[in-house]
Amino acid sequence: MEPALILPPVRDERWDLAKQMGVDKAVVHTLEIGDNSRPWRYEELLDLTQRFSDYGLDVEVIEGCVPISDDTRLGRAGRDEEIERFKRYLLHLGKLDVPVVAYDWMAGKRWARTSTAIPARGGSLTTGYDHDLMRDAPDQNLAPVEADELWAGLEHFLNEVVPIAEEAGVKLALHPDDPPLGNIRGVDRIVTSIENYERIMNLYDSEYNGITFCQGNFAAMGADVPRTIRQLGDHINFVHFRDVEGDAERFVETWHDSGPTDMLACIEAYRDVGFEGPARPDHVPTMTGEDNDNPGYMTLGRLYATGYMKGLLEQTAE
Protein backbone atom coordinates (compact mmCIF):
# COMPACT_ATOMS: atom_id res chain seq x y z
CA MET A 1 0.00 0.00 0.00
CA GLU A 2 1.04 3.57 -0.65
CA PRO A 3 -0.22 6.10 1.92
CA ALA A 4 -1.78 9.09 0.19
CA LEU A 5 -3.54 12.30 1.21
CA ILE A 6 -6.19 14.51 -0.32
CA LEU A 7 -4.37 17.70 -1.24
CA PRO A 8 -5.72 20.90 -2.78
CA PRO A 9 -4.82 21.60 -6.43
CA VAL A 10 -2.87 24.73 -5.44
CA ARG A 11 -0.03 24.44 -2.94
CA ASP A 12 -0.66 25.38 0.67
CA GLU A 13 0.59 24.15 4.05
CA ARG A 14 -1.05 20.76 3.51
CA TRP A 15 1.46 20.00 0.76
CA ASP A 16 4.27 20.76 3.21
CA LEU A 17 2.69 18.64 5.93
CA ALA A 18 2.35 15.68 3.55
CA LYS A 19 6.03 15.82 2.66
CA GLN A 20 7.03 16.23 6.31
CA MET A 21 5.12 13.01 7.11
CA GLY A 22 6.86 11.17 4.29
CA VAL A 23 3.77 11.01 2.08
CA ASP A 24 4.43 11.77 -1.57
CA LYS A 25 1.19 10.48 -3.14
CA ALA A 26 -1.56 13.04 -3.72
CA VAL A 27 -5.28 12.49 -4.19
CA VAL A 28 -6.97 15.41 -5.93
CA HIS A 29 -10.58 15.65 -4.84
CA THR A 30 -11.60 18.79 -6.71
CA LEU A 31 -10.39 20.30 -9.93
CA GLU A 32 -10.27 24.01 -9.23
CA ILE A 33 -8.47 24.66 -12.47
CA GLY A 34 -9.20 26.98 -15.35
CA ASP A 35 -12.81 28.09 -15.03
CA ASN A 36 -13.65 24.75 -13.32
CA SER A 37 -15.87 23.70 -16.22
CA ARG A 38 -13.34 21.90 -18.46
CA PRO A 39 -11.38 19.53 -16.20
CA TRP A 40 -10.91 17.10 -19.10
CA ARG A 41 -8.74 19.52 -21.11
CA TYR A 42 -5.17 18.31 -21.50
CA GLU A 43 -3.54 21.68 -20.86
CA GLU A 44 -5.29 22.16 -17.53
CA LEU A 45 -4.56 18.60 -16.40
CA LEU A 46 -0.93 19.06 -17.43
CA ASP A 47 -0.69 22.24 -15.36
CA LEU A 48 -2.25 20.46 -12.38
CA THR A 49 -0.03 17.39 -12.43
CA GLN A 50 3.15 19.38 -13.07
CA ARG A 51 2.48 21.62 -10.07
CA PHE A 52 2.53 18.54 -7.88
CA SER A 53 5.44 16.94 -9.69
CA ASP A 54 7.61 20.04 -9.39
CA TYR A 55 7.12 19.85 -5.62
CA GLY A 56 7.96 16.14 -5.46
CA LEU A 57 4.40 14.83 -5.22
CA ASP A 58 2.71 12.38 -7.57
CA VAL A 59 -0.98 12.71 -8.43
CA GLU A 60 -2.00 9.13 -7.77
CA VAL A 61 -5.81 9.50 -7.86
CA ILE A 62 -8.36 11.98 -9.08
CA GLU A 63 -11.71 11.44 -7.38
CA GLY A 64 -14.99 13.18 -6.82
CA CYS A 65 -14.64 15.42 -9.83
CA VAL A 66 -15.31 13.06 -12.71
CA PRO A 67 -16.95 14.97 -15.59
CA ILE A 68 -20.20 12.99 -15.61
CA SER A 69 -23.60 13.80 -14.13
CA ASP A 70 -26.89 12.10 -13.36
CA ASP A 71 -27.69 12.28 -17.09
CA THR A 72 -25.06 9.59 -17.58
CA ARG A 73 -25.97 7.63 -14.45
CA LEU A 74 -29.59 7.47 -15.52
CA GLY A 75 -29.10 7.15 -19.28
CA ARG A 76 -30.74 10.45 -20.10
CA ALA A 77 -30.20 13.03 -22.82
CA GLY A 78 -26.65 14.33 -22.78
CA ARG A 79 -24.94 11.15 -21.62
CA ASP A 80 -23.26 10.43 -24.95
CA GLU A 81 -21.52 13.80 -24.92
CA GLU A 82 -20.47 13.32 -21.27
CA ILE A 83 -19.09 9.85 -21.95
CA GLU A 84 -17.07 11.12 -24.90
CA ARG A 85 -15.58 13.83 -22.66
CA PHE A 86 -14.82 11.18 -20.04
CA LYS A 87 -12.99 9.08 -22.61
CA ARG A 88 -10.82 12.05 -23.56
CA TYR A 89 -10.25 12.69 -19.86
CA LEU A 90 -8.99 9.13 -19.36
CA LEU A 91 -6.66 9.34 -22.35
CA HIS A 92 -5.21 12.62 -21.10
CA LEU A 93 -4.68 11.22 -17.61
CA GLY A 94 -2.95 8.20 -19.08
CA LYS A 95 -0.49 10.43 -20.92
CA LEU A 96 0.14 12.28 -17.66
CA ASP A 97 0.71 9.07 -15.65
CA VAL A 98 -2.28 9.45 -13.32
CA PRO A 99 -3.08 5.78 -12.58
CA VAL A 100 -6.53 5.86 -10.90
CA VAL A 101 -9.84 7.67 -11.33
CA ALA A 102 -12.34 7.19 -8.49
CA TYR A 103 -16.04 7.79 -9.20
CA ASP A 104 -19.46 6.99 -7.77
CA TRP A 105 -22.87 6.00 -9.08
CA MET A 106 -25.07 7.85 -6.60
CA ALA A 107 -27.86 9.81 -8.28
CA GLY A 108 -29.22 12.94 -6.65
CA LYS A 109 -28.06 13.17 -3.04
CA ARG A 110 -24.64 11.57 -2.85
CA TRP A 111 -22.69 11.62 0.45
CA ALA A 112 -25.50 11.79 3.02
CA ARG A 113 -25.15 12.67 6.70
CA THR A 114 -27.75 13.80 9.22
CA SER A 115 -25.18 15.08 11.75
CA THR A 116 -21.78 16.66 11.22
CA ALA A 117 -20.78 17.65 14.77
CA ILE A 118 -21.27 14.58 16.99
CA PRO A 119 -19.04 14.77 20.09
CA ALA A 120 -16.34 12.11 20.12
CA ARG A 121 -13.14 11.36 22.00
CA GLY A 122 -11.69 14.33 23.88
CA GLY A 123 -14.29 16.74 22.52
CA SER A 124 -13.48 16.05 18.86
CA LEU A 125 -16.35 16.16 16.37
CA THR A 126 -17.42 13.51 13.92
CA THR A 127 -20.22 12.81 11.46
CA GLY A 128 -23.07 10.33 11.45
CA TYR A 129 -26.26 9.20 9.75
CA ASP A 130 -29.66 8.26 11.20
CA HIS A 131 -32.17 7.04 8.64
CA ASP A 132 -35.08 7.66 11.02
CA LEU A 133 -34.55 11.38 10.33
CA MET A 134 -34.95 10.75 6.59
CA ARG A 135 -38.00 8.49 6.51
CA ASP A 136 -40.54 11.33 6.49
CA ALA A 137 -38.40 13.75 4.49
CA PRO A 138 -39.77 14.90 1.12
CA ASP A 139 -38.58 13.10 -1.97
CA GLN A 140 -35.56 14.45 -3.76
CA ASN A 141 -36.26 16.61 -6.81
CA LEU A 142 -34.86 13.82 -8.99
CA ALA A 143 -37.29 11.22 -7.61
CA PRO A 144 -38.49 8.71 -8.48
CA VAL A 145 -35.38 6.86 -9.63
CA GLU A 146 -35.55 3.08 -10.02
CA ALA A 147 -32.62 0.74 -9.57
CA ASP A 148 -33.05 -0.60 -13.12
CA GLU A 149 -32.21 2.84 -14.50
CA LEU A 150 -28.97 2.93 -12.55
CA TRP A 151 -28.00 -0.61 -13.55
CA ALA A 152 -28.65 0.06 -17.23
CA GLY A 153 -26.76 3.35 -17.10
CA LEU A 154 -23.79 1.76 -15.37
CA GLU A 155 -23.59 -1.17 -17.78
CA HIS A 156 -23.63 1.20 -20.75
CA PHE A 157 -21.00 3.42 -19.14
CA LEU A 158 -18.64 0.53 -18.39
CA ASN A 159 -18.98 -0.96 -21.86
CA GLU A 160 -18.08 2.41 -23.33
CA VAL A 161 -15.26 3.53 -21.05
CA VAL A 162 -13.44 0.44 -19.74
CA PRO A 163 -11.80 -0.28 -23.13
CA ILE A 164 -10.53 3.31 -23.15
CA ALA A 165 -9.33 2.98 -19.54
CA GLU A 166 -7.39 -0.13 -20.60
CA GLU A 167 -5.89 1.75 -23.54
CA ALA A 168 -4.95 4.70 -21.32
CA GLY A 169 -3.66 2.57 -18.44
CA VAL A 170 -5.97 4.37 -15.98
CA LYS A 171 -7.87 2.17 -13.52
CA LEU A 172 -11.45 2.97 -12.55
CA ALA A 173 -12.39 2.71 -8.87
CA LEU A 174 -16.11 2.74 -8.08
CA HIS A 175 -16.97 4.05 -4.60
CA PRO A 176 -19.80 2.48 -2.58
CA ASP A 177 -22.99 4.43 -2.04
CA ASP A 178 -22.64 6.33 1.23
CA PRO A 179 -24.61 5.33 3.21
CA PRO A 180 -25.12 1.94 1.48
CA LEU A 181 -28.93 2.06 1.57
CA GLY A 182 -31.22 0.89 -1.22
CA ASN A 183 -33.23 4.11 -1.33
CA ILE A 184 -32.93 7.62 0.08
CA ARG A 185 -35.87 9.99 -0.34
CA GLY A 186 -37.30 8.34 -3.43
CA VAL A 187 -34.02 7.66 -5.24
CA ASP A 188 -32.74 4.09 -5.46
CA ARG A 189 -29.07 3.24 -4.92
CA ILE A 190 -27.29 0.12 -6.19
CA VAL A 191 -23.64 0.13 -5.01
CA THR A 192 -24.75 -1.09 -1.62
CA SER A 193 -23.57 -4.68 -1.06
CA ILE A 194 -20.82 -7.18 -1.76
CA GLU A 195 -23.21 -9.07 -4.06
CA ASN A 196 -23.92 -5.96 -6.10
CA TYR A 197 -20.20 -5.24 -6.37
CA GLU A 198 -19.65 -8.73 -7.75
CA ARG A 199 -22.41 -8.10 -10.27
CA ILE A 200 -20.77 -4.80 -11.26
CA MET A 201 -17.37 -6.43 -11.72
CA ASN A 202 -19.02 -9.03 -13.95
CA LEU A 203 -20.62 -6.36 -16.16
CA TYR A 204 -17.17 -5.85 -17.66
CA ASP A 205 -14.46 -8.25 -16.54
CA SER A 206 -11.27 -6.21 -16.36
CA GLU A 207 -8.81 -5.08 -13.70
CA TYR A 208 -9.62 -1.58 -14.95
CA ASN A 209 -13.23 -2.00 -13.77
CA GLY A 210 -12.42 -1.83 -10.09
CA ILE A 211 -13.33 -0.66 -6.62
CA THR A 212 -12.66 2.17 -4.25
CA PHE A 213 -12.64 -0.01 -1.16
CA CYS A 214 -14.11 2.40 1.36
CA GLN A 215 -13.81 0.43 4.58
CA GLY A 216 -16.46 2.36 6.48
CA ASN A 217 -19.11 1.62 3.88
CA PHE A 218 -18.33 -2.08 3.85
CA ALA A 219 -18.48 -2.06 7.66
CA ALA A 220 -21.89 -0.36 7.43
CA MET A 221 -23.00 -3.12 5.03
CA GLY A 222 -22.37 -5.55 7.87
CA ALA A 223 -19.40 -7.12 6.10
CA ASP A 224 -16.40 -8.73 7.75
CA VAL A 225 -14.01 -6.13 6.33
CA PRO A 226 -10.74 -8.15 6.25
CA ARG A 227 -12.56 -11.13 4.73
CA THR A 228 -14.17 -8.86 2.12
CA ILE A 229 -10.78 -7.39 1.21
CA ARG A 230 -9.64 -10.93 0.42
CA GLN A 231 -12.86 -11.69 -1.46
CA LEU A 232 -12.72 -8.60 -3.68
CA GLY A 233 -8.97 -8.08 -3.64
CA ASP A 234 -8.40 -8.58 -7.38
CA HIS A 235 -10.66 -5.59 -8.05
CA ILE A 236 -9.43 -3.13 -5.39
CA ASN A 237 -7.78 -0.15 -7.10
CA PHE A 238 -7.96 2.42 -4.29
CA VAL A 239 -8.59 2.35 -0.53
CA HIS A 240 -10.37 4.70 1.85
CA PHE A 241 -9.04 3.89 5.31
CA ARG A 242 -11.84 4.54 7.82
CA ASP A 243 -14.30 2.90 10.21
CA VAL A 244 -17.83 3.36 11.56
CA GLU A 245 -19.84 2.19 14.57
CA GLY A 246 -23.30 0.98 13.59
CA ASP A 247 -24.98 -0.11 10.38
CA ALA A 248 -26.22 1.46 7.15
CA GLU A 249 -29.35 2.88 8.78
CA ARG A 250 -27.59 4.39 11.78
CA PHE A 251 -23.87 4.88 12.22
CA VAL A 252 -21.24 7.24 13.58
CA GLU A 253 -17.75 7.76 12.17
CA THR A 254 -15.03 6.68 14.59
CA TRP A 255 -11.44 7.51 15.26
CA HIS A 256 -9.34 5.20 13.12
CA ASP A 257 -7.86 3.45 16.14
CA SER A 258 -11.07 3.02 18.16
CA GLY A 259 -13.72 1.59 15.85
CA PRO A 260 -15.05 -1.98 15.81
CA THR A 261 -13.04 -3.11 12.76
CA ASP A 262 -9.65 -4.76 13.26
CA MET A 263 -7.57 -2.30 11.25
CA LEU A 264 -4.38 -4.32 11.58
CA ALA A 265 -6.21 -7.31 10.11
CA CYS A 266 -7.30 -5.09 7.22
CA ILE A 267 -3.71 -4.08 6.50
CA GLU A 268 -2.68 -7.74 6.63
CA ALA A 269 -5.48 -8.58 4.17
CA TYR A 270 -4.33 -5.91 1.70
CA ARG A 271 -0.83 -7.36 1.95
CA ASP A 272 -2.10 -10.89 1.38
CA VAL A 273 -4.01 -9.96 -1.79
CA GLY A 274 -1.01 -8.06 -3.14
CA PHE A 275 -2.61 -4.62 -3.12
CA GLU A 276 0.09 -2.04 -3.87
CA GLY A 277 -2.04 0.97 -4.75
CA PRO A 278 -2.95 4.21 -3.00
CA ALA A 279 -4.75 4.33 0.34
CA ARG A 280 -5.86 7.49 2.07
CA PRO A 281 -7.44 8.22 5.46
CA ASP A 282 -11.05 9.27 5.12
CA HIS A 283 -13.75 10.94 7.24
CA VAL A 284 -11.54 11.97 10.11
CA PRO A 285 -12.69 13.66 13.34
CA THR A 286 -12.36 17.43 13.63
CA MET A 287 -9.88 18.22 16.40
CA THR A 288 -9.40 21.10 18.84
CA GLY A 289 -8.52 24.36 17.12
CA GLU A 290 -10.22 23.44 13.84
CA ASP A 291 -13.44 25.10 12.73
CA ASN A 292 -15.25 22.06 11.24
CA ASP A 293 -16.15 23.94 8.06
CA ASN A 294 -15.38 20.78 6.05
CA PRO A 295 -16.57 17.93 8.31
CA GLY A 296 -14.61 14.73 7.90
CA TYR A 297 -11.78 16.38 6.00
CA MET A 298 -10.00 18.71 8.37
CA THR A 299 -6.23 18.49 8.62
CA LEU A 300 -5.21 17.32 12.09
CA GLY A 301 -7.26 14.14 12.06
CA ARG A 302 -5.80 13.18 8.71
CA LEU A 303 -2.29 13.62 10.06
CA TYR A 304 -3.16 11.38 13.01
CA ALA A 305 -4.77 8.73 10.80
CA THR A 306 -1.83 8.77 8.39
CA GLY A 307 0.62 8.14 11.22
CA TYR A 308 -1.57 5.33 12.53
CA MET A 309 -1.80 3.76 9.06
CA LYS A 310 1.96 4.00 8.56
CA GLY A 311 2.52 2.33 11.91
CA LEU A 312 0.27 -0.58 10.93
CA LEU A 313 2.05 -0.90 7.60
CA GLU A 314 5.40 -1.05 9.37
CA GLN A 315 4.07 -3.70 11.76
CA THR A 316 2.98 -5.93 8.84
CA ALA A 317 6.05 -5.35 6.66
CA GLU A 318 7.70 -8.58 5.66
- pLDDT at 271 (0 to 100): 96
Q: Tell me whether residue 156 is one of the annotated catalytic residues.
A: no
Q: Tell me whether residue 204 is one of the annotated catalytic residues.
A: no
Set 240, 256, 270, 304: catalytic member: 240
State which residues of the chain have pLDDT below 70: 30-40, 65, 318
Q: Tell me whether residue 283 is one of the annotated catalytic residues.
A: yes
Asked if residues 14 and 311 have their Cβ atoms less than 8 Å apart, the reply is no
Q: Tell me whether residue 29 is one of the annotated catalytic residues.
A: no
Set 71, 130, 131, 297: catalytic member: 297
Set 70, 129, 175, 177: catalytic member: 175
What is the CATH number that goes with domain 2-316?
Answer: 3.20.20.150
Q: Tell me whether residue 92 is one of the annotated catalytic residues.
A: no
Q: pLDDT tens for residues 242-292?
A: 999 999 999 999 999 999 999 999 999 999 999 999 999 999 999 999 999
Set 89, 104, 214, 235: catalytic member: 214
Give the three-class secondary structure for 125: strand
Question: Long-range pairs for 243-249 at CB < 8 Å and ≥24 separation?
Answer: 243/215, 243/216, 243/219, 244/216, 244/219, 244/220, 246/128, 246/220, 247/220, 247/222, 248/131, 248/179, 248/180, 248/181, 248/192, 248/220, 248/221, 248/222, 249/129, 249/130, 249/131, 249/132, 249/179, 249/181
- pLDDT at 261 (0 to 100): 98
Q: Tell me whether residue 240 is one of the annotated catalytic residues.
A: yes
Give the three-class secondary structure for 195: helix
- pLDDT at 37 (0 to 100): 52
What is the value of pTM for the model shown?
A: 0.96
For the four alpha carbons of 52, 53, 58 and 59, in that order, the dihedral sign comes to positive
